Structure 1
């Protein structure tokens, strides 16, 4: 069995994958780590397969690159495929637009070795912006998979939905096999749908089974953010979409008697937030992005119980 797998789910990532693979070819301090790279093509229509074929010959003496095709679109399905095919103790997920630092693999593996109860470990993700955003946009950074929690390791608080993102995340194969079901309720962004949070779903299953979720600042990476990701319409759609799974995520680790309380708290709490927000900002929500962004998240969270019932009924 190998020590470590780097798994890269991708959809039409032909233009992005070479940057990630070159970063992986430049990894240092991996002499005593047996590892592999897996690319899961999530039903791409570009030449992703050809790109990987070219790199397989280039990487032959360095580390093996394996290509797998997953026809069911959705990040959750791609990650399930990667877990199934990985032949290692730990699987490090990287999005196809996230560039790992040169010691990412060694920092990830060393941390997991030192924390055997860690079911998942998130890294420090910096923004690599095509166009530099104004300072107030820092409010939206976490929604763009930018995570900078300081220079010291910390334990996440899953019950408060304080969790890392799978853009740069290491999973214990044992923790996944013991905890994560074969089917997710949330499948990730598919087609025009912006609703994601399938990464939070799998992490909550792992936490529910007694595993710890850690932040390792030594696992540094850089998320490339194109200019169109900072446009108002995109960000407002993203904000509401991130709010919609809130109630479902809160119920994963809740007892049966707690769910009606969570239902009422979600409706009443977000109704109050919306009213107070409109009173405070009034017309600013039409002109200023950040107040509008927060309002969209509150609306998504308010609707989240009904979205949860819809998803659960649909998946039966």
Structure 2
């Protein structure tokens, strides 16, 4: 593929978020020798997302841009469309609430160009909001994709960490390789009215299983804008339950990678996992479960309970699929070790 960077911005009803996000994107200070482009993926928006993006980019974009449509709802589908349409070797996934530092494209190119075996890279993010952050936010900011993703910059391939999608940089060739060999996300990420996510983590697990490296570099810096409604304890509780649900889809990857797994890969059954989760809920005590809504804001245990409930609900929902996910991963052609040239 041609050397350069494709910035992919996936949007669903992003008309209010886009102006400031695109302002930062258009103000990138990019080395003239680095080719780059902007791709807006409109994921079935019903507002003026497309019109606003077109107006701003027509007036301010320093590089070629395209606006494409993805009718299938879900962030994973939107990102796949972005990957398929990217013309350059590296892709930055910029969410509609990500304000990239001026050197983000430059640093992304430098990192990904340094080693051919790097499949994905991510950095650090700071929170940005119009209201005062809640007292509990600092302790729980990782749930909002805010803060450091690792202790120090470097190779985190063998660490129990998956990069979040906000600002994640990937190797286009690696992503296209996965899709060409039959990779299909077990998740669809966020849809209208839902909080489920995780396709970014799933991509990192897939890259690792395919033989690529994952890098954390704090030179990749962005500000993550958080709307008022997200800075609410009840929102975080719902988000935690969604995180619990998505973990069910990560289990085949994590067990294949031997991360925190005591169960042999081929010996998995939804009923065993459901029983384990029920047992875990019992350990919290019936009294605490019944009074969970009365627990104080900032209570870690309340979020842990929400995650456990989310996992249990999801495994019961997909019980006929649960075992098949392990089998599908075991048979995946894309998981064969890549021989890097």
TM normalised by structure 1 equals: 0.88
2:164 aligned residue: 165
User: Deviations for 1:202-249, whole angstroms, at most 9, x for unmatched residues?
Assistant: 221111101111111111011111121122332211111110121321
Q: Which moved more, 1:221-230 or 1:138-147?
A: 138-147
Alpha carbons of 1:2 and 1:64: their partners in 2 closer, same or farther (altered >3 Å)? farther
2:84 aligned residue: 84
1:1-316 aligned within 5 A: 1-59=2-60, 62-149=62-149, 152-156=152-156, 160=160, 162-180=161-179, 181=182, 183-252=184-253, 254=255, 257-260=264-267, 266-267=273-274, 270-271=277-278, 273-278=280-285, 283=291, 286-289=294-297, 290=299, 291-309=301-319
User: Deviations for 1:111-168, whole angstroms, at most 9, x for unmatched residues?
Assistant: 11123211011121111123223343333322212131467313335774x2111111
SS in 2 for 1:127: strand
Q: Which moved more, 1:268-277 or 1:1-10?
A: 268-277
User: Deviations for 1:37-74, whole angstroms, at most 9, x for unmatched residues?
Assistant: 000010111111211221332246x2111110111111
Partner Cα distance (2:131, 2:209) in 1: 40
Q: How many residues align?
A: 314
Partner Cα distance (2:143, 2:183) in 1: 26
| Structure 2: tracts of 5 or more residues without a match | 257-262, 329-341
Alpha carbons of 1:182 and 1:262: their partners in 2 closer, same or farther (altered >3 Å)? closer
Superposition CA RMSD, Å: 2.9
Alpha carbons of 1:281 and 1:306: their partners in 2 closer, same or farther (altered >3 Å)? closer
SS in 1 for 2:168: strand
Q: Which moved more, 1:119-128 or 1:274-283?
A: 274-283
